Copies of this chain bind each other. A is one copy, B any other.
Amino acid sequence: MRRSNLALVLRHLRDAGPRSRARIAVETGLNKGTVSSLVAELVERGLAREGAIERDGAVGRPAQSVELDGRRIGGIGVEINVDYLTVLVLDLRNSVVVEYRVALDVQALSAAAVLDSVTELAVRALGECARLGMTPIGMTLAVPALVDVDAGVVAFAPNLHWRQVEVVRGVIDRLSARTGVRPAFPIKVDNDANLAALGEYAMGGIAGASDLVYLTGETGVGGGVIVGGRLLRGAEGFSGEVGHIPLDQSGHDCGCGRRGCWETMVGLAGLFRMAAEGNDPVRDPSLDLDQRLDMVRGRAEAGETRTLDALARVGTALGLGASVLVNVFNPRALVLGGYFASLGAYLLGPVMRELRARVMAPDVGGCRVELSRLGFTAAARGGAHVAFESVLDDPTVVAVPSPAR
């Protein structure tokens, strides 16, 4: 009971912002005295603090504002992707406190070597946390893969060439070896699109939309879905496989062995194929992906017809597939991430046109289409954020600091 009311007040403080005890009492339906006691405990645990005195000219005694104190605890998010690692620490207010990003050719390295690098960055981040007086409360790794979340194992990551990698155990062992103690916080792995969807939900442009579909354009198409404020995982954790919807039987061959899968139409390979001839540097697989994308963007900005045409076709195909998801989920928002976001200016028009034409519910079912503003940090942010769920559900997991010496 105490726990759930502590959680209630803490969540309210986070969602509604700083406010007086009296106002919290009215808004949560709790008693004033109860709120005082709960706030005192939250302050003691370093999760809340008193802010300014609101002397705003209203009659009566001025209110002593109470606000979220994020600085005492940190959530750590790690993203392992094809050519980079990101480690990022968030405070309870979702501000980025620490961010490291290093280029790493993950495909060329063994999983063990990659986890070594991850550990390296994590140790640096933990050191920085300690310096700032932050207690790390949890760490989540985002991987573009089918992930067995409960076991902490990456089952299959085609783009990393990983199969059955015990990520959680690997990281725990390495951190223990490096620091001499087992990490005191929980460590998890999850699919990158899932975590990015959570990141968008928690701190993106449409934060708080409790039903949203996140699509990320990379080599393939990744999907993450929030339903009723909770991440859709499915019975075995394999949900969100949207890339292989068969939308064009006469289309191109897909890596999955079939024909005309959605990702052959809207994945990066599809874009490059449509945008340029075979000998064009845009289609040179030895070049850096970002570089090739930049070339596409440059040509589009210059008004090159073929490029614009390719983008329009990708946009139409994106809208076609998105309409399926919008019909099925009726989300409040559709968030486009990955390269869909960086080339969004050219895709949004066709996407909206398709959605308007194909979504059965009136006015696209009230669904807004947004470009991700979190860019490539969405997954790491989502990962860092999940650590806070445990605190938001039960604030007593944050220990009361031992009395001053």
**Contact (Cβ within 8 A) B358 A258:** yes
Determine how many copies of this chain the complex contains: 2
**Contact (Cβ within 8 A) B365 A238:** yes
**Contact (Cβ within 8 A) A249 B248:** yes
**Contact (Cβ within 8 A) B238 A209:** no
- Pick from A9-17, A294-302, A324-332, A388-396 the stretch touching chain B: A324-332
Residues of B within 8 A of A258 (CB): 358
A151 within 8 A of B: no
Contact mask for chain A residues 116-153; partner B; CB cutoff 8 A; 1 contact, 0 none: 00000000000000000000000000000010000000
**Contact (Cβ within 8 A) A328 B360:** no
A244 within 8 A of B: yes
CB of A71, distance to nearest CB on chain B (Å): 33
Interface residues of A in 236-264 (CB under 8 A from B): 236-242, 244-249, 256, 258
Residues of B within 8 A of A184 (CB): none
User: Which residue on B lies nearest to A332, using beta carbons?
Assistant: B235
- Pick from A37-45, A168-176, A223-231, A283-291 the stretch touching chain B: A223-231
Interface residues of A in 182-228 (CB under 8 A from B): 209-211, 223, 225, 227-228
Bound-state Cα–Cα, A320 to B328, Å: 16
CB of A349, distance to nearest CB on chain B (Å): 20
**Contact (Cβ within 8 A) B239 A360:** no
A361 within 8 A of B: yes
Interface range, A side: 35 or more
A1 within 8 A of B: yes
Bound-state Cα–Cα, A1 to B3, Å: 12
**Contact (Cβ within 8 A) B238 A330:** yes
Bound-state Cα–Cα, A361 to B146, Å: 8
**Contact (Cβ within 8 A) B249 A235:** no
**Contact (Cβ within 8 A) B366 A245:** no
Contact mask for chain A residues 323-347; partner B; CB cutoff 8 A; 1 contact, 0 none: 0110111111000000000000000
User: Which residue on B lies nearest to A359, using beta carbons?
Assistant: B241
**Contact (Cβ within 8 A) B249 A246:** no
CB of A260, distance to nearest CB on chain B (Å): 10
A312 within 8 A of B: no
Residues of B within 8 A of A398 (CB): none
User: Which residue on B lies nearest to A327, using beta carbons?
Assistant: B241
Bound-state Cα–Cα, A234 to B361, Å: 11
**Contact (Cβ within 8 A) B320 A246:** yes
User: Which residue on B lies nearest to A333, using beta carbons?
Assistant: B235
CB of A69, distance to nearest CB on chain B (Å): 29
**Contact (Cβ within 8 A) A361 B328:** no
**Contact (Cβ within 8 A) B227 A232:** yes
A367 within 8 A of B: yes
User: Which residue on B lies nearest to A365, using beta carbons?
Assistant: B238
Bound-state Cα–Cα, A10 to B291, Å: 61
Asked whether A241 and B328 contact (CB < 8 A) given A246-B320, A248-B249, the answer is yes
CB of A178, distance to nearest CB on chain B (Å): 34
CB of A136, distance to nearest CB on chain B (Å): 29
Q: Which residue numbers of A lie inside 8 Å of B, CB to CB?
A: 1, 146, 155, 209-211, 223, 225, 227-228, 230, 232-242, 244-249, 256, 258, 320, 324-325, 327-332, 358-362, 365-367
**Interchain residue pairs with CB less than 8 A apart (8):** A223-B328, A225-B328, A232-B329, A234-B331, A236-B366, A241-B327, A245-B327, A324-B324
Q: A228-B230, A232-B329, A245-B245 are in contact. List 7 more A-B contacts (CB 8 A).
A: A235-B365, A235-B367, A238-B360, A238-B365, A241-B327, A241-B330, A242-B327
Closest 5 A-B residue pairs measured CB to CB?
A234-B330, A238-B361, A235-B332, A241-B327, A239-B330
